[in-house]
Structure formats: structure tokens, C-alpha cells
Chain A
Amino acid sequence: MKMRHVLWQLIKYRPGLYAADIVAWISIMLTELGAGYIAKLFFDSLTDSSPASLSLWGIIALVVAAGVARILTILAGALLDIRHRYNMGSLLRRNLLASILNQPGAQTLGRSTGETLNTFRDDAQMVEDTISWIVDQISFIAYAGVALVVLIAIDARITAIVVVPLLSVILAARLVAKHIRRFREAARRATEQVTGAIGEAMEGVQTIQLAGAEKHVLAHVRELNKARLHATVRDRLLSQSFHSFFWNTGTLCTGLILLAAAGGLKSRTFTVGDFAVFVIYVGVLAEVVAVIGDFMMHLKQGAVSMERMAHLANDKTASSVVRHAPIHMSGPLPKIVTPSRTDRDRLETLRVDHLYFSWPSEGGAEVRSTDAFALQDVSFSLSRGEFVVITGRIGAGKSTLLRTLLGLLPMDRGRITWNSRQVMDPATFFVPPRCAYTPQVPQLFSDSLQSNIRMGLPSTSEQLEEALRLAVMEEDVPHLQAGLDTLIGARGVKLSGGQRQRTAAARMFIRDPELLVFDDLSSALDIETENTLWNRTFARGDRTTLVVSHRRPALERADRIILLKDGVIEGVGTLRELLERHEEMQSLWGGGGLEQAA
């Protein structure tokens, strides 16, 4: 989508407010124009002896009235502009958040959280500015139009002498503007590197502290800082030179007025009042040119920001970033959507046929996880009440299989059927009440334990207790300082690793989905706890569960184990069958585990 289409789409979001904003800002500029004209009246009243001229007191009264009018128009413009800007910024951020949460393959944004936040903060701000500054441009153009009419009425020749250089400056600006984008992009990239590194350092602060690597990490950030300094100074230098070139045009034009008006002043056909109004208006005209020049530059930078937002939203056209959606600035908030369960959702069988997945070849030198082996021709099925375990070595493609099935990674080929119905869009299909999923390292949020489990789900306290019991979390809760209302800190750091995983499990159980999908849930649980968890899960016979695990309690209990090797199914069966038939399973089983200890 072209930048102007993007902007137009945004402007259409609150057209009435925007129109009012424009009217207010034109009024501000027109009152300023009036104030300039009063100066002419003043000087003319001194030099012109005709009785029609205003008295000194009359002029002073006019000056004061113009001042009051400007203050009032500025107040109106401020209120409208602040409100409209807030609408724009909030809409952009809302759409970005919504598309990040909704896009399939959400797991790789390709950038750190710090960098992503940068786009939320600065790029959205940049586009918000662009929209608001369009209002300024319109009001400046209105000012320029009226000012030109007045100046031509006073002296058309001098006006022409002054306006031609102004116009040539605008043309020159167009030629320079294209370099600015390149410098701006480089500066933004360098900034991202710095914020990304700071974010990572804060996320990994314990690792750094325990390794005593504080000063080395600082040195690393220092290098990134240096690169940012160079990029930013270059960017600012170019835009600033550009800017001051425009501003200085006004002064140069005053020089032109001096030359052109000398004759008129000598012959008294051009009054000192005319001279005063020329200097004032041409000064503001130059300001208009300067601001328009700045704006052209800003438009380029805004386009860069828009592209970055579109990239983040994984939407080349950017249409999802500028889509109209309510932002709920006032009034009641929307109800949280909790999909209701229908008979069609009830799981009887889930079939996966000939599933293929490969990583896109782009990504260059970045390592793809070996756990991310391409999947080839993977087929299996799962019936109501079954416990199926996917196992295999590191890099066999276990997590990749789960993610592809759930639509978190796009499959290349294959067919997924729920009962007898083909699942067309796994990403939107595999959500509660049909399915709930917990990734390898579950994420919790800085909120109460209770909110982390409910996550907006309206549920009774009995349901909450049952979910906690299923997750073997019920005994931990009384030990927490505020029980269920305990604030668990950023990413749940105030809980132990095991508590975090069980909280994530409770979060799934409370949704009572048809299918439970765990990616290596039990890795931070002790054997006893893990056993209790599975016992409770299967106490009700119809819970259907698909897990990635290599742990004994899961493997032994499994109705079926899917053994993956290099992205291909090596075998399917019970533990005993697989151990008999497959060397791979024997080596996995024999390589570690409990036997020696036992």
C-alpha cells in the first residue's frame, strides 16, 4: 500500500474530529496573519497623514484583540489535536498488538522484544506525527495563500522577486530528500541494536551476574552505542542542514526585499508599513516552506516507520496496521470473547495425514534450531481419551510437529481432520474449547496467580480449584503470600520453575479443552509430581492428550508413542513394542534415564 493510501485510511478513521482539527488550525494561522497586518497599519498611521488612519489607541486595542483571538484558537486546536493524535497512536498500537497475537507462525517475529517495543513506541509515534502534521501543512498553505494575495495587492513586482527564490528552494528540497530516508533507516537500525541489547541484558541479568560478565556485556553495548552515535549524528546533521537552509531563506528574502524596495522607499510609493508587512509575511512564508520541507522529509521517515510496522504485522500491504477498529477510548470495554462449545467441537478422532513442513530458506546465516528439522510425510491419529507421546532426540522435530499441527508454523502440505471435518486453518481452529497448548518454556505475566490462570476466562472458584488440583498446584497456593491473588512478578519470576509449569498447566485445565497439548510440560517437575499430574488428568477417562516428552512417567503411560527421527516417523507403538523393534528407541532409553539409579 502506498504511503498516501495508508495515511488516507488513517484519516478516514475519525473524519469529523480531523476536519474540526483542520478548521481550528487554519483559524490559528489566520489570526496570526491579522496580527502581522496590524504592524502595517501602525507604521502607515505614523507616515500617512490622511485622517482615515487609525489612532494609536485603536491600533493598540487591535493588537490586544488579535492576541486574545489567537489564544482561544490555540486552545481549541490543542484539544482537538491531542485527541485526534491519541486516536491515531492507539489505533496503530492496537492493530499491531492484534496482528502479533493473531498471526500464525507467531513464534518468530525475527526480532527481540526490545526491538519490537521500539516499533510500538517510536514507529507508531512517527506515523501519528505525520497525520497531525498534515493539519499543520494545510493551515500553513492557507496562511501562505492569504499572505500572497495581500502582498500582491501591495506590490506585485516585489512579491514576484521574493517568491521565485522560495519556490526554487522547494524544488531543491525534493532532490535532497531521497538521501534522508537512507540515513534515517540506518539510524533506526542502530537504535534497535542498542535497545535490543539492553533488553536482552535485562532479561538475562542473572546469567550475566552469575558469570561475572557485567563488564563484557557493557563493552558489547558500548560498541553498539558507538555505531548508533555515528548513524544518528549523520542523520541529524543532514536533516538539520536541510532545515536551517529553509529557515535561512527568509532572511535571504528580506535581503531581496531591501534591494527591490529601495526605489519605492525613496520615492515614497512603498511605505515603511508595506516594508514591515513584507518582512513579516515573507518571514512566515519562508517558515511555511521550511515546515513543508521538514514535512516532506518526515513523510519519508514516516514511510520507513510504516514499513517496519507492516513487517512486524507480517503484512506487506500494511492494511492490517491501518484497519479501522474500535479503540474504546471511553465507554464500557468490550466483553471478553469466550467461544462456546458445540457438539461439532467434541473430539472423536484427530487425524494427521502426510504432513510436510520445511523452514523457509531465508534467514541467511542464522541458525535454525536442529530441533526444527523439516517434517516429512508425518501421519498419525488420536482418538478420544487417548494419551499420545511424541518422543525422539534433540532435533528430531518434536516441537516442530506440534507447532505445525497447531498452525503456529505453516505446513507445506498435508491434511488435518477433526472427526471427519478437514481443518482448513489450524491456527484459528486449535484454540479453546477445542484445544489448549503450552509451549516448552511457558510464559506467565506480571499479574496475580489467579489472573494468569483465568486469562480472562469467566469461571467459578470451583472450576479454578479443580484446575489447580489437576495441575497439582493446590498445595502450593496456601504457601504463597496472598494465595491466589499473589502477584507473581515479571514473567512469573516469583514462582519456582516447577510452579510456573504447573501454573501453565492449570491455565490449560481450567479451559477444559477437548485436546490438551503439552510441549515437554514436565521437565521441571519431580517424578512424584509428574505422576500425580498424569493420574489426575486421566482419572476422568475422556481427556485426550498429546505431549512431547522423553520422560519415563509419560512414556510408560502412553497409549501410543510416536518416535520421530530426523523429521520422519520411525515407529509408532507402546513403549514395550518400540523398545523391541527400534534401535533408536533403545538407544534413547538406554542412554540415560532411571535404570542405573534404580
Chain B
Amino acid sequence: MKVPIKQYYNLLSTYLKTQWRWVAILTLLILVTIGLKLANPQILRAFIDTAIEGGEWSILIRLALLFFGIALLTQALSVAATYVGETVAWTATNALRLDLLDHALHLDATFHKDHTPGKMIERIDGDVATLSNFFSRFVIDVAGNGLLVMGILALLFREDWRIGLPIFVFAIITLFLLIWIRKLAVPYWTQYRRLSAEFFGFLGEHISGREDIRGNGAVSHVMHRFYEFVQRMYPVRLRSSLGGYAMWMANVGLFAFGHAVAFGVGATLWRASVITIGTVYLVFHYTELLRGPISEIRTQITDLQRAEAGIRRIRTLLDQQSKLTDEGTLHLPSGPLAVSFRGVSFAYEAARTPQDEEEAAPEMVPALHNIDFDLAPGTVLGLLGRTGSGKTTLARLLVRLYDPQHGGVHVGGKPVESVKIADLRRAVRKVPQEVQLFRASIRDNVRLFDPSVTDARVLNALDHLGIRDWVLGLPNGLDTMLAADGGGLSAGQSQLIALGRSFLADPGLVILDEASSRLDPATEHLLEIAVDRLLENRTAIIIAHRLSTVERADQIMILDDGQIAEFGSRNALMADPTSRLSRLLQAGMEEVLV
């Protein structure tokens, strides 16, 4: 396995380029520190030789004080290097986090179905955290420590080549052996991180579902699964941790060898009166000093194992491409939009899963068969059908959560793929079935963090929904923070917030997907007035399981098993006693009469 230098280089150059000044300062700080480290043993030798030869006190004192001064300076430099290094690292990793989040936010629904939020946190935050050190210190430390090693060797050669050569050979062997051992551990690190991501995915999901677990008496089942993880993870954890220890053990063995060499060479040359006792000490001390940079390089390489696993997983994430192409250039007209489906067939595919994920999860197949219809601008379509008949799928195709396998979907006279996804979704607004709230202010929840939306517009939207006064009545008004998981609001209030988002968007086509399903009739009534306003001068598709929605529809479509069972104007269908709509209404009537 080769060190993927090109990948490292790309990452480093991308995320450090903007901070080159800080990187330069950091480099300088580290170079000066290296110089000071090389100087210290020279002072010690001079001191020992001077003392043994009975030299002047004043010289000895001066040497000792010089030694002190250097020690203090090293201290100051290391604090400065920490500050600069950490800032560089966090700036770089934060940028990488945002890029990953950005990328993940643009992946299609097929991807997100297979990745729990817990797992994604591990990928976006956990994996990147392993790179923090890589960014701040890796190149500088490895290069810096490499320089320190070379400096030490050069100084030893200057003493005598018979000293320099054996220590040089020792240093080379040590480095190569340590790098070789590193390779052995990488697969275990990758494996451990993958298993750990799966474990936290499991935890996250079951923590969110704790009420369901308790309510169904399944606590012991969940604990059972937890223990399964405990058993599965240990062997992997053991092997990956031992990889780190192997480095240490190799280091210890190699340095025992290094000392043996230094002792042998030093003693032999001293006995031959080639070098002084101070120089023997210098050789010993420099050999010992090699331990620092080599073990630093070793640590950096251990970190690199982690970072490498992280980088690989980051690459896998970045290589995930959305199945949807976004190459559209056309623009949608303003105002209400026409809709047409031309022979559209769609089936959910089995998810394409990258190899580092769990086995591919099969998906449900049937969805839509040969759907063909037109909807004039400004009309309201009521979409009926049993659950699973394809209503939601049809809506998803309109906002390009998926692309159909056959046929074409047109909005405003343009094929949906010919319009930029962002523009399409601005003009076609789908109110999702399940409302997601964010731990942020009510303001940010309505405007979804868009700073260009003024309070006046937010309040205007809330006014349409009839909750303006309620919100303003809260102690902090629009600034009121919603609890984590949006837990502070009832399902009904959440729906209202979701509708408020659509008001702000001013779309030309609105798709309401059971938007009011969890509201009680009184609130629903409130909402209906708001919905009426939202639909004014807009095309709309309303998906509902209930017949009440039929009220405001101009056109009715009934889907059955992915096919259009009936499509026509509401009035015509209601007038025809043999139509499915009439029969449904009849059934509804019967229910009412029970």
C-alpha cells in the first residue's frame, strides 16, 4: 500500500492556501526551535570538557546560564507555535467540515435513506477531527523533525565519520522499519472507524425512538443489540490499538540497538584518544536526542494512520455523486405554472451502496406506470388514492427528488431537468409530509436561516397562518429558541411553521403533501383559510387521503397502484354517478350516516 501523497497534497493545498501567512510563521517558529535543540548538547560537551580539564568557573557559569536562556526561549516558542498551529488546523478542518456538509446536503434522497444522521455526524465531524493534527503539524513537524535528524547526523559527521556513519545507518533503519509497521495497522483503523460509525448510528436511532422502545417493552431487546456490538467491536478495537503499541515496541527495540552502537563507537574512539570524554557524551546525548524527532515522526505517522482512514472515508463521501444531474440553463416563467407528465414511469431502484457501507439495502420497486396528464396554470389538482398508490412519488418527481426512468416531467412548459434544481425548487414548493424543525429561533425556522428575509416578511407569513400574535406574545417573540429536535412545538404548530416557509418562497406551483394531516379540525379550519391564500393565483397539487380536500380542487386525479384510475374536472366527475369519485363520496356519505 502506498502513501497517497497526491491526496494529502491536494487536501493540504486546498485548505492551507488561504492561510499561507500563518503557515509561514509556524514554519519559522519551528525552524528556530530546531536550531536551539541542536545547540544545547554542544554546550553540554563544552561544559563537561571544561570542568574535567579544570577550566575557569566564569566560563562554566556562562555556559550554564546560556543553557538556561535557551531553555526559556524554547518554552516561549512552543506556546506561540501551539497558538498558530491550532488556529491553522481549526480553520482548515472547519472549512473541510463545511465542504462535506455542503456536499451531503446536495446528495439525493437515495443516499440519505441509507445514512442515519448519527452516522453522518461521525463522517462529517468525527472523521474530520482526526485530520486536525494532520493539518496543523503534519508537514511542518515531519519536515521539521526530518531537518532535526539531519542536523544531528551532520554534526556527528563533523565530529568523525566513524561516528556519523553508524548512527546514520541506525537512523535510516529505524525510520523505514517504523513506516513499514505503520502499514500493518491501517486496515484495522479503517475497520474500527467503520464499525464505530455503525455503532453510533445504532445508538442515535434508538435514542430518538426511546418512547417507542419503552412503550413496546423492547428495552431488553435494544440492550441485547448493544451487547452484540460490544462483542463484535472488541477484536477490532484490540487489533487497531495494538497497531499503535507495535510502533512503541519497535521504537524501544531500535533505540536499545542505537545505544549499543553509540557506546561501542564512543568507547572505541575514546580509547584510541581520537575524541574527548565530552564528545563521547555528545555522541550519547545526540543519539538520545534522535529519540525525540523519530518518536515525533512516529506519532505523526500513527496520527497519519487515523488521518488516512479519515481521508479515505472523506473521499468516499465526496465521491458520492447525486444521481440527479444539475445542468439546466432554462428559466421558469413567473406566475402560475403549467404541469405535464408525458408517459412517465418510475421505479425505486435498489440503492447503489459504496463498498464501505453495510450490504446494499433493497428498496421497494413499484411506483408509477405510464403517467400522462396536463394541468393548466392556476388549476388546483386534488390527488387521491390509497397509501402506496404513488401520490407522493408523483410529487417527488416534480421537485426532482428523483428522476423518472421513462417519459418526461414538464413544469411551466420546460422539462424539469432543463432548469437548475435550485431554480426549480424555488418555483415549485413542496410542503413535506414530515416537518423538520431546527434548534434555532422561530425566525430562523421560518426563513430557514436565510438572512435576507426581513422580520416583516416572516411576520407577514405568520399573519397569514394566524399565529402572528401567538409568536409575538412569547417572551422573546421571533427570537424564541425552539428546543432540540423541535420538541418545543406540537405537531400542529410545526405544520404551521412549515407552511410559513412556503409563504415566504412565493412559488408558482405548490404541492401540499398531507400538510394538515395531524391537525385537529379547528386548527385545520384556520389553516384552510391560509391555504386558500397560498393557492391564490398559483397552480397547486394537493395530496390527501381525505375527501374534504376535494372541496377546493378544480381537477381530480385518482391513482391506483401507480396508474391513473381517473382524471377529470371535479364537477364532471361528481355529476357522473358511475365515476370512482362519486362512489368514494358515496362511501364517505355512508360513513357519515353510520
Verify A117–B121 contact, CB threshold 8 A. yes
CA distance A524 to B388 in the complex (A): 11
Q: Which residues of chain A are within 8 angstroms of B487 by Cβ–Cβ distance?
A: 107-108, 369
Q: Give the CA-CA distance A222 to B208 in the complex, in Å.
A: 26
Pick from A232, A265, A427: contact of B86, CB under 8 Å: A232
Question: What is the distance, in angstroms, from B111's C-beta to the closest C-beta of chain A?
Answer: 9
Closest to B223 in A: A98
Say yes or no: A266 contacts B54, CB within 8 Å: yes
Residues of A within 8 A of B204 (CB): 113-114, 116-117, 199
- Other-chain residue from A237, A439, A588 in contact with B79 (beta carbon distance below 8 A): A237
Contact indicator A552/B270 (Cβ below 8 Å): no
Q: Does B216 contact A (CB under 8 A)?
A: yes
Q: How far is the CB of A499 from chain B (nearest CB, A)?
A: 7
**B436 contacts partner chain A, Cβ-Cβ < 8 Å:** yes
Residue of A nearest to B428 (CB): A210
Q: Is the CB of A272 within 8 A of B489?
A: no
Q: Nearest 5 pairs between A and B by C-beta?
A: A456-B221, A67-B256, A371-B490, A443-B209, A204-B436
Shortest CB distance B167–A (Å): 15
* Interchain CA distance A499-B231 in the complex, whole Å: 34
B:227-281 near A, CB below 8 Å = 227-228, 230-231, 234, 237-238, 241-242, 245, 248-249, 252-253, 255-257, 259-260, 263-264, 267-268, 270, 277, 280-281
- Is there contact, CB below 8 Å, between B364 and A494? yes
Q: Which of B423-448 contact A (CB under 8 A)?
A: 425-426, 429-430, 432-440, 442, 444, 447-448
Of the candidates B267, B422, B483, B522, the one whose C-beta lies within 8 Å of that of A46 is B267
Given A117-B204, A244-B79, A524-B517, residue A210 in contact with residue B425 (CB < 8 A): yes
Q: A59-B263, A259-B64, A395-B492 are known; give 16 further A-B pairs, CB within 8 A.
A: A43-B280, A74-B245, A97-B223, A100-B210, A101-B219, A114-B117, A196-B439, A199-B120, A210-B401, A211-B425, A216-B449, A262-B61, A276-B281, A437-B211, A552-B591, A596-B551
How far, in angstroms, from A237 to B80 measured CA to CA in the complex? 9
Q: Roughly how many angstroms separate A93 CA and B215 CA in the complex, as a whole number?
A: 22
Task: Determine if A202 and B521 form an interchain contact, defined as CB atoms under 8 angstroms apart.
Answer: no
Q: A60-B263, A259-B64, A528-B386 are in contact. Are A201 and B451 (CB under 8 A)?
A: no
Residue from B63, B248, B448 within 8 A of A211 (CB atoms): B448
Q: Which residues of B contact A64 (CB under 8 A)?
A: 256-257, 260
In the complex, A338 Cα to B220 Cα: how many Å?
Answer: 8
Size bin of chain A's contact surface: 35 or more
Chain B residue with Cβ nearest A104 = B214
Residues 492-521 of A, flagged 1 when their CB comes within 8 A of B and 0 if not, give 011111110000100110010000010010
Let me know if A367 and B201 touch, CB within 8 A: no
- Across-interface contacts of A334 in B (CB, < 8 A): 220, 223-224, 227
**A541 at the binding interface (Cβ < 8 Å):** no
Q: Is A385 an interface residue (CB 8 A)?
A: no
Cβ contact within 8 Å between B51 and A266: yes
Q: What are the interface flags for B99-132 relative to A under an 8 Å C-beta threshold, 1 for contact and 0 otherwise?
A: 0011011110100111111111100111000000
Partner of A194 from the list B125, B228, B440, B518 (CB cut-off 8 Å) is B125
Contacts of B522-539 to chain A: CB distance below 8 A: 522-525, 528
Contact of B547 among A102, A211, A254, A597 (CB under 8 A): A597
CB-CB under 8 A from B126, the residues of chain A are: 121
Neighbour of B270 across the interface among A46, A431, A529, CB < 8 A: A46
Query: In whole angstroms, what is the CA distance A255 to B505 when docked?
Result: 71
Q: Is B180 an interface position by the 8 A CB rule?
A: no
- Which of chain A's residues 512-563 have a Cβ closer than 8 Å to chain B? 517, 520, 523-529, 531, 550, 552-553, 556
Minimum distance in angstroms from A205 CB to a CB of chain B: 5
Q: How many Å lie between the Cα of A367 and that of B451 in the bound state? A: 23
Taking CB atoms, residues of chain A closer than 8 Å to B255 are 67
Cross-chain pairs A/B with CB under 8 angstroms, 8 sampled: A63-B260, A114-B121, A211-B501, A252-B71, A272-B52, A486-B362, A494-B364, A511-B216
| CB-nearest residue of chain A to B106 | A214
Main SS at interface, chain A? helix
Q: How far is the CB of B526 from chain A (nearest CB, A)?
A: 8
Q: A84 to nearest B CB, angstroms?
A: 12
Do residues B505 and A205 form an inter-chain contact, with CB atoms below 8 A? no
A241 within 8 A of B: yes
Stretch at the interface among B302-310, B457-465, B581-589: B581-589
Tell me if A213 counts as interface (CB < 8 A to partner B). Answer: yes
A42 interface contact, C-beta 8 A: yes
Q: Is B47 an interface residue (CB 8 A)?
A: yes
User: Smallest Cβ distance from B18 to chain A, in angstroms?
Assistant: 14
Residues A207 and B436 in contact in the complex (CB < 8 Å), given A63-B259, A64-B256: yes
* A211-B448, A438-B215, A496-B392 given; A199·B118 CB < 8 A: yes
Q: Is the pair B520, A393 in contact by a Cβ cutoff of 8 Å? A: yes
Complexed CA–CA distance, A101 and B87 (Å):
40
Q: Which residue on A lies nearest to B82, using beta carbons?
A: A240
Question: Shortest distance in angstroms between B370's beta carbon and chain A's nearest beta carbon?
Answer: 18
Judge whether A374 is part of the interface by a CB distance below 8 angstroms.
no
A118's nearest neighbour on chain B, judged by CB, is: B121
Surface stretch bound by A, among B89-97, B338-346, B373-381: B89-97
> Are the C-beta atoms of B105 and A208 separated by less than 8 Å?
yes
Q: Does A593 reach chain B (CB closer than 8 Å)? A: yes
**Is A226 engaged at the interface, CB distance under 8 Å to the other chain?**
yes
CB contact under 8 A between A597 and B387, given known A367-B483, A592-B524:
no
The yes or no answer to A245 lying at the interface (CB within 8 A) is yes
Contact A408 B216 (CB under 8 A): no
CA distance in complex: A70, B253 (Å): 8
Q: What chain A residues lie within 8 Å of B422 (beta carbons)?
A: 212
A328 at the interface (CB under 8 A from B): yes
Whether A42 touches B267, Cβ cut-off 8 Å, given contacts A114-B117, A244-B78, A272-B281, is yes
Instruction: List which A197-254 residues lie within 8 A (CB) of chain B.
Output: 197-214, 216-222, 225-226, 228-229, 232-233, 236-237, 240-241, 244-245, 248, 251-252, 254
Q: Is B450 an interface residue (CB 8 A)?
A: yes
CB pair B588 A594 closer than 8 Å: yes
Q: Contacts A244-B79, A255-B64, A443-B212: A371 and B525 contacting too (C-beta < 8 A)?
A: no
Does B468 sit within 8 A of A, measured CB to CB?
no
A39 to B520, CA, bound (A): 85
Task: Judge whether B101 and A498 touch: CB under 8 Å.
Answer: no
Task: Check: B320 CB closer than 8 A to any chain A CB.
Answer: no
Question: When the two chains form their complex, are residues B214 and A111 in contact, meaning their CB atoms are under 8 A apart?
Answer: no
Once A113-B117, A198-B125, A498-B388 are accepted as A-B contacts, the answer to whether A210 and B238 lie under 8 Å apart by CB is no
Q: Which residue on chain A has the smallest CB distance to residue B91?
A: A229
In the bound assembly, the distance between CA atoms of A228 and B125 in angstroms comes to 12
Decide if B267 touches A120 in the complex (CB within 8 Å): no
From residue B389, how far is it (CB to closest CB) to chain A in Å? 9
When the two chains form the complex, which single residue of A212, A241, A395 contacts B426, counting CB atoms closer than 8 Å?
A212
Given contacts A108-B483, A114-B121, A328-B227, contact A491 B60 (CB under 8 A): no
Given known A-B contacts A214-B102, A255-B71, A367-B480, A431 and B217 have beta carbons under 8 A apart: yes
For the complex formed, measure the closest distance between the CB of B553 and the CB atoms of chain A, giving whole angstroms.
10
A574 within 8 A of B: no
Kindly state whether residue B150 has any CB partner on chain A within 8 Å: no
Beta-carbon nearest neighbor of B447 in chain A = A216
Q: Are B514 and A598 in contact (CB under 8 A)?
A: no
**Interface 1/0s, chain B 277-293, versus A by CB < 8 A?**
10011001100100000
A50 adjacent to chain B (CB < 8 Å): no
Q: Are B490 and A395 in contact (CB under 8 A)?
A: yes
Which chain A residue shows the least CB distance to B78?
A244
Q: Specify which chain B residues have a CB less than 8 angstroms from the CB of A255 in the assembled complex.
A: 64-65, 67-68, 71
B522's partner among A107, A220, A372, A592 (CB-CB below 8 A) is A592
Complex alpha-carbon distance, A327 and B231, angstroms: 9
Knowing A101-B219, A456-B220, A490-B114, the reply to whether A43 touches B281 (Cβ < 8 A) is yes
Residue A181 CB within 8 A of the other chain? no
With a CB–CB cut-off of 8 A, which chain B residues contact A394? 490, 492-493, 519-520, 522-523
Is B68 within 8 A of A115, CB to CB? no
For B489, the chain A residues whose CB sits under 8 A away are: 367, 369
Asked if B207 and A431 make an inter-chain contact with CB atoms under 8 angstroms apart, the answer reads: no
